[in-house]
Structure 1
Amino acid sequence: MPRVLVVLADGCEELEAVTIIDLLRRADVAVTVAGLEPGPVTASRGVRLLPDIALDSIGGESFDLIVLPGGAEGARRLSESDRIGELLMQQIREGRCVAAICAAPTVLGRLGLLDHRRVAAYPGFLEPLEIPGVEIEAAASVVMDGRIITSRGPGTAMDFALFLIEHLTDPTTRDRVEAGLQRPATHHSSATEGIAIRVMR
């Protein structure tokens, strides 16, 4: 069973966080929700979320994927966390994937993980970082470049979560989860459809 760590900080975007956690669990993925600080997390619209565990309580566990929901304030707090930086860099060094949506790709950008990559993000967040060689895909809902998966914002959160399901499991599982949501299957990953772009490195 794939294992995923979702990290929440105060000011995170609750629509993204809950969508990611909910859909991954529908796909029988083992999701651990960690709070950047101990206790409940107050999201960007005042919704209070209760993580499973505090981030500092995670020891030497390994995860197939680490996911960062967005939200401007949540992303800022994640960017300022040395612990998050260490976890993300270790994840990449060990050949596993990281994913970020909305403002959260800025966390990856500040660590140099987006250099010379194609990415998706909420408009206006990555440009001030002047990331070397980055290509921002304005039309794609989800972009996977090597071991980095990014997405644009709350409106693409479901596409993002379903993409993660397919990446972690298989298209059949993704289609099963999507069918249960009563929306048309959209697993075709093509730049021309604007759904997802995959760049293999």
Structure 2
Amino acid sequence: MGTVLCVITEDFADFEITLALHKIRNVGKRNVVTVGYDKQAVTSESGLTYLPDITVAEAMELADVEGLLIPGGPILEQRAELTELIRKLNREEKLLAAICNGPQYLGRSGILDNLSFTTSCSEEQIGKLGVEDPFPRINFIEKRVVRDGHVITAQGRAFVDYAFAVYDYLGIYDGKEEKQAQLYKDVMDR
């Protein structure tokens, strides 16, 4: 049984990843592990409190990681250890799946420089925040979900489609009748 990591930070959008994690754990029989910068509790956008299972530094030492899910939330600074974890998993061609504003972490890590991606975070929003745009906009595609190799990105409104793209990548429903739902028709594979 492999491990799927999920980064949780203050004000993360928990609703964007709960469906994906529920089926990954209960249907796919994967170990789901929450990862934080430290082991302090964080409060999600919905007001629920979460306690990370391990730190980003501890995640670097895990051997059976299949992928990393990154929920949306506010545009935040990115610590070097998260960049290092993302780059490590990218080198190993593990799943990197980010939704809504979550692709900001992939962008700052250089992962999106040569890949097609989508995000809910527009150039206009970045401009209003007065921060550096973490996205290589030339590679942006206006789709609900975009898969480019082992990287899946999604707009926040597409959290169900995102979940099914992740299931597909991980083979969660391979050979199961439930797969016939085909809920993510506008996923763009490259």
Amino acid corresponding to residue 22 of structure 1 in structure 2: H
Using a 3 Å threshold, how does the CA distance of structure 1 residues 114 and 39 change in structure 2: closer, same or farther? same
CA distance in 1, matches of 2:135, 2:168: 32
CA distance in 1, matches of 2:155, 2:175: 23
CA distance in 1, matches of 2:135, 2:45: 26
Q: Residues 111-156 of structure 1, C-alpha deviation per residue, up to 9 Å, x if partnerless?
A: 221113211211416974461631x222x32211122110100x31
Q: CA deviation at 1:37?
A: 2.3
**What secondary structure does 2:138 align onto?**
coil
Q: Residues 40-69 of structure 1, C-alpha deviation per residue, up to 9 Å, x if partnerless?
A: 211123221233223333352131111111
CA distance in 2, matches of 1:151, 1:163: 9
**What secondary structure does 1:67 align onto?**
strand
CA distance in 1, matches of 2:8, 2:2: 20
Amino acid corresponding to residue 48 of structure 2 in structure 1: V
For 1:69, the equivalent position in structure 2 comes to 71
Say whether the 8 Å CA contact 1:165–1:173 is kept in structure 2.
Answer: no
Q: Does 1:162 align with 2:164?
A: yes
| Of 86, 107, 110, the match for 1:88 | 86
**What secondary structure does 2:68 align onto?**
strand
For 1:185, the equivalent position in structure 2 comes to 181
Q: CA deviation at 1:94?
A: 1.9
**What secondary structure does 2:6 align onto?**
strand
CA distance in 2, matches of 1:95, 1:166: 16
For 1:197, the equivalent position in structure 2 comes to 188
| Of 125, 145, 150, the match for 2:148 | 145
CA distance in 2, matches of 1:44, 1:58: 24
Structure 2 residue runs without a partner (length 5+): 127-132
**What secondary structure does 1:6 align onto?**
strand
Q: How many equivalent residue pairs?
A: 181
Give the structure-1-normalised TM-score. 0.78
Structure 1 residue runs without a partner (length 5+): 179-183
Using a 3 Å threshold, how does the CA distance of structure 1 residues 36 and 170 change in structure 2: closer, same or farther? same
Q: CA deviation at 1:161?
A: 1.5
CA distance in 2, matches of 1:174, 1:46: 35
Q: CA RMSD in A?
A: 2.5
